[in-house]
Amino acid sequence: MAVVSFVFLQEMILSNKLPESADMSQRMPLDRWAEDYKSRNDDMPQWYPHLFGGMPSYGGFIYAPADPSRKIFDFLGFGWGLRYWIHFIIAGIGMYAYLRWKGISEIAGFFGSLSFSLSPYLFGLINAGHPAKMYAIAFIPLVLLFAEKVMEKQELRSALLLAVLTAFQLWTKHVQIVYYTWMLVVFIWLWQAGSAFRLKQFNLKKSGLSIGLMAGAIVISGFLVVDPYLPIYQFQGDSTRGAASTLDAEGDAKKGTSWEYATQWSFHPNETISFLYPYFYGLQNFPTRDLNSQAYWGYMPFTQSTHYVGLMVLVLAVVGFLIRKPESEIVSMGVASVIILIIGFGEHFPLLFWPLYKFAPMFGRFRVPSMIYILLPFTLSFLAAATLHQTCKTLESRNDQFEIIKKRTVMVFGIVLGLSLFFLVLGSELFSFSKLGEAARYQPAALAQLKEVRVSLFQKGVLLTFVLSGMGLTVLWFAFKGTVQPFFLGLIFVSITVIDLWVVNNEFIHLKSERAINAGYFQTKEVQFLLENRGLHRVLPVEQFNTNWYAYFGLSTVGGYRPVKLRSYQDLLDAKALNSEAIQNMLNVKYVITQRTMNDPRFRLAFQDQLKVYENRNVLPKAWFVREVYSVESPQESLASILKPEFNPVSTAHVLNYRGEPGLKMEVGTVMVTKYSENEIVLKTEIAGDGFLVLSENYYGPGWRVDVDGVETEIYRANHVLRGVQIPNGSHTVIFSVDDSAYSIARLISLFSMVLIVTVLSVQYRSDIVDLTARLRIKKQDMKS
């Protein structure tokens, strides 16, 4: 298992190569900043200043190294390839252990573990630059194994291991995958409880104890991952994922995500054909690569992966479902697979998705309904392995199932072969091979070329299925004749599956060296100019607004690329407020970088090469005093006030729930920034009377505090996104510092929980460890004698 996955990942492991993906590339500036910060400081950076005017780092998923496995990998200097390989091994071992615990034979267990751990979706995640999702998926079989052990035996140690494994999933910070994993756990429990009740074997005490232990496991895992989830939870209330948009009258974010947002990337029922023919809809979109990598023409906006699980897996799963009795586990996994499939349809067939979205706790906060298909490699691999086990067992004993299995197998493989032959002959004439709107988006010649590529991929996929199904049917036929022994049948099925997955998985692996990817961030002449003129200001890259390019060089920008950001700042973006002169000035936009020529007297051309750099003559400093403060009572009023043409941030501040006297004329003093860092900003102020200071840094209530001459003072939300402070008469030292109390508490709780669980597990497994040590000692003595 480890050897096969090593072969699939060999270039990544041995040559430290990586797929070039947008997400991975956009992460590099963040990783570089984190490495640089760690080399210069001993504390944890809580604020990232270089994107969107500043945002939380630890709670904002930018840098939160709470995962103990990540710390070990970092300490050992493991590259991405080794990290992937280790998690592939975890996935394979977990699946194999689950199947063996279910009584599946070794060869069938190996088949199931291989098909799960090498499923194309995992390679698609690597392709898209989403390794953490793959890490979370790797733990699914182990979580289900120990959940079922708790259901069966009600053991404390199984519950504790279940808690630890769930924590490892949660440390990847992909709660949606953990949620779906536990949905399957709940389904299995309900199925088992229903079967026991039907057979009059239901034990209320045993069932209640199982529920209690599993609930306890969830609680314990929660304590283990308080770090980083307490700072993350703290941030969610002010983020795009937890706070309602100021522009959204319905306030959908208070309840979860809107229906339109939540149902993006719903899987259309028509696309289920791609489980049989992976290239049917073109497989993937990756516009920065060749035409083959942007051939997807299905119903989703785009996709960089596939939910194909392998032909032998699918066919055996269907055969197994057709030959089993209703009370068997095969039927339960079959039903689970159908339910999962229907949920993933999302808006296209919301029979199950809609009630879950409306009534299931937290479900409405997730998007990408098709992500629940991460469970299909598990359920279908189980079905396929169990069917292979039963087939091999029947071939050995020639029991009464022999004819049933033979007929069902021949029937299913025959249908696949017949359909494949039909598509090979007529398929290219039956479908349009284009998406709605493409005729307007592409030139006719380009669209014709793209269609040719899609037809070619379609035929490749159909031919792959035709050949593999032919191989599968042939070997099964010889097995039914007694020519091929059951063990070799399993081995041949493993080989066919490896060939199948090798072909599909390699579609996602377009590798470059890490050095070559990093080389994409080279210092252009305009970057050199900006670095030479670096200061406490920001840049506005017009054409590269949605990238982290400038952040790589430590240049702060008002744009960027992050899946989650502060809600107040997103309000500015949604309202197109960055087009406003006043907003640009108060956000410290000193330089605008563009390909265009700007005929605006506010800007002077400061540098010109391939891009032009314009200097804003009216940019405001990092901090300044205003003459008038106006109180606003809601975020809606706050945003509306700064969008008015007459808004002037030089002299006025619109402050949310201001406690002073609004409209009173104030003194204007001087401000000097003496320290500016991720966790602390120090100002020296001088003013002849009471004044109000505005700091051009994003307001984030839970994350910062301010002290004026050592006395804590309230930070106001000024001009919708900035920070404001009331300053008394005289000379003062004003210190803005991160409030990392949530982080400190979370770290303490997680550490204590970890020590406690390790201690309890050591006691629980003490006898097993003693027995193992004794056996090893005896074996050593036998070898000497």
* pLDDT tens for each residue of 187-205: 999 999 998 998 888 999 9
| 201 half-sphere exposure, CB direction, 13 A CA radius | 6
Place of tokens 């030139």: 443
Place of tokens 């505090």: 705
Q: Two tokens at 630?
A: 């106006």
Least trusted range by pLDDT, from 182-186, 425-429, 509-513 = 509-513
**325 pLDDT tier (thresholds 50, 70, 90):** low
Give Cα separations from 703 to 38, 570, 588, 736 (angstroms): 20, 18, 21, 10
What is the structure's pLDDT at 292? 73
What is the structure's pLDDT at 403? 87
Three-class SS of 251-302: CHHHHCCCHHHHCCCCCCHHHHHHHCCCCCCCCCECCCCCHHHECCCCCCCC
Name the phi and psi angles at 78, rounded to 5: -70, 135
What is the structure's pLDDT at 288? 60
Residues 6+ apart with CB under 8 A from 303: 124, 265, 284, 285, 296
DSSP, collapsed to helix, strand or coil, labels residue 607 as: strand
Q: Looking at the chain, how many residues does it have? A: 785
- Give this prediction's pTM: 0.92
Q: Two tokens at 181?
A: 């994993």
What is the structure's pLDDT at 287? 61
Instruction: Enumerate the H helices of 281-401 as residue ranges.
Output: 311-323, 329-344, 353-359, 376-397
Torsion of CA 362, 367, 371, 375, to 10 degrees: 10
Give Cα separations from 490 to 350, 392, 496 (angstroms): 39, 8, 10
DSSP 566: B
What is the structure's pLDDT at 249? 55
Contact 618, 643 (CB under 8 A): no
Instruction: Enumerate the H helices of 533-588 as residue ranges.
Output: 567-574, 581-586
Q: Two tokens at 683?
A: 């100002």
Residue of higher predicted confidence among 23 and 651: 651
Query: Exposed, middle or buried, 103 (CB in 10 Å: 0-12/13-18/19+)?
Result: exposed
Among residues 716, 724, 734, 755, the alpha carbon closest in space to that of 626 is found at 724
Rounded CA separation 8/3 (Å): 9
Q: Two tokens at 131?
A: 């390794």
Query: Exposed, middle or buried, 499 (CB in 10 Å: 0-12/13-18/19+)?
Result: middle
Residue of higher predicted confidence among 320 and 94: 94
What is the structure's pLDDT at 475? 96
* pLDDT tens for each residue of 226-285: 999 999 999 998 998 888 888 875 444 344 567 888 899 999 999 999 999 999 999 888
Contact 501, 120 (CB under 8 A): yes
DSSP string, 680-740: EEEEEEEESS-EEEEESS---GGGEEEEETTEEEPPEEETTTEEEEEE-SEEEEEEEEE--
Q: Which amino acid is at 76?
A: L
Least trusted range by pLDDT, from 445-449, 737-741, 744-748 = 445-449
What is the structure's pLDDT at 253? 39
| Region 517-530 average pLDDT | 90
| Beta-ladder partners of 707 | 712, 735
| Region 118-122 average pLDDT | 97
Contact 5, 117 (CB under 8 A): yes
Rounded CA separation 431/450 (Å): 14
Q: Which amino acid is at 86?
A: I
Name the phi and psi angles at 533, rounded to 5: -115, 30
What is the structure's pLDDT at 782? 66
Instruction: Enumerate the H helices of 102-119 as residue ranges.
Output: 106-117
Rounded CA separation 67/56 (Å): 18
DSSP, collapsed to helix, strand or coil, labels residue 513 as: strand
Rounded CA separation 655/313 (Å): 61
Per-residue pLDDT at 335 exceeds 60: yes
* pLDDT tens for each residue of 339-349: 999 999 999 99
Among residues 472, 446, 432, 457, the alpha carbon closest in space to that of 507 is found at 457
| Beta-ladder partners of 706 | 713, 736
What is the structure's pLDDT at 784? 62
| Region 24-37 average pLDDT | 92
Mean pLDDT of the chain: 92
Strands 628-632 and 652-656: parallel
Contact 285, 317 (CB under 8 A): no
Residue of higher predicted confidence among 612 and 766: 612
DSSP, collapsed to helix, strand or coil, labels residue 617 as: coil
- Percent over 70 (pLDDT), the chain: 97
* pLDDT tens for each residue of 423-474: 999 999 999 999 888 888 888 888 899 999 999 999 999 999 999 999 999 9
Residues 6+ apart with CB under 8 A from 774: none
Task: Specify which of 289-303, 346-360, 760-774 reaches the highest per-range mean pLDDT.
Answer: 346-360
Q: What angle do CA 499, 502, 503 make, to 5 degrees?
A: 90
What is the structure's pLDDT at 683? 98
Name the phi and psi angles at 705, rounded to 5: -135, 160
Q: What angle do CA 98, 277, 372 make, to 5 degrees?
A: 45
| Region 208-232 average pLDDT | 96
Q: Can you say whether residue 658 is alpha, beta or left, with left for phi > 0 and alpha for psi between -120 and 50 degrees?
A: beta
Rounded CA separation 769/748 (Å): 29
Rounded CA separation 383/209 (Å): 29
* pLDDT tens for each residue of 362-378: 998 898 999 999 999 99
Contact 220, 738 (CB under 8 A): no
Rounded CA separation 638/620 (Å): 20
Contact 186, 380 (CB under 8 A): no
| Region 642-670 average pLDDT | 92
- Percent over 90 (pLDDT), the chain: 78
Place of tokens 């200071």: 693
Contact 384, 111 (CB under 8 A): yes
Least trusted range by pLDDT, from 294-303, 610-619, 691-700 = 294-303
Taking each continuous run of H as one helix and of E as one strand, the counts in the chain are: 29, 19
* pLDDT tens for each residue of 551-591: 999 999 999 999 899 999 999 999 999 999 999 999 999 99
Measured in whole angstroms, how far is the alpha carbon of residue 343 from the centre of its chain? 19
Per-residue pLDDT at 783 exceeds 60: yes
| Region 31-39 average pLDDT | 94
What is the structure's pLDDT at 254? 42
Strands 628-632 and 704-708: unpaired
Instruction: Enumerate the H helices of 360-443 as residue ranges.
Output: 376-397, 402-430, 438-441
